[in-house]
Amino acid sequence: MAATWPAYYHRRVPKPIVVGVDDDRRVRESLESLIASAGYAALVFASADEFLRSGQVADADCVIADVRMPGIDGVELQRRLRIERPYLPVIFISAHYEDHVRRQALEGGAIDFLYKPFDAADLLSAIDRALRKQ
């Protein structure tokens, strides 16, 4: 006789939600594709302000943010997220080599700081570390 499992055993475990914030449409599309291919739920936003107003901050399990964006930049986004969600892991991506910004982001608790163009495996490794840290 086959075992019958209680209904709660059949519930699906929700996928972690990884958020990408970048003002470059192509980068957002790449992030969305990469995140989804790794089995995570992907949400992407064109600006930090759009993300903060989206109502999705509470649902995010990890944030990948560009440093330089119009309006609220990535470092300011990190600062605001630390107030609302102190343990939300943030990964930075940037096309600009500015050591003081990198240092500021990492001192602010960023999981990693990758320079564009970054290797997909490096970003996926950073996401994995971020999600394990939660």
pLDDT in tens, 76-114: 999 999 999 999 999 999 999 999 999 999 999 999 999
Other Cβ atoms within 10 Å of 58 Cβ, number: 8
- 3-class DSSP string for 7-66: HHHHCCCCCCEEEEECCCHHHHHHHHHHHHHCCCEEEEECCHHHHHHCCCHHHCCEEEEE
Of the chain, the end-to-end C-alpha distance in Å amounts to: 41
What's the pTM value of the predicted model, to 2 decimals?
0.89
What mean pLDDT is reported for the chain? 92
Q: Counting Cβ atoms within 10 Å, is residue 52 exposed (0-12), middle (13-18) or buried (19+)? A: middle
Domains of the chain, CATH where assigned: 15-133 (3.40.50.2300)
pLDDT bracket for residue 1 (50, 70, 90): very low
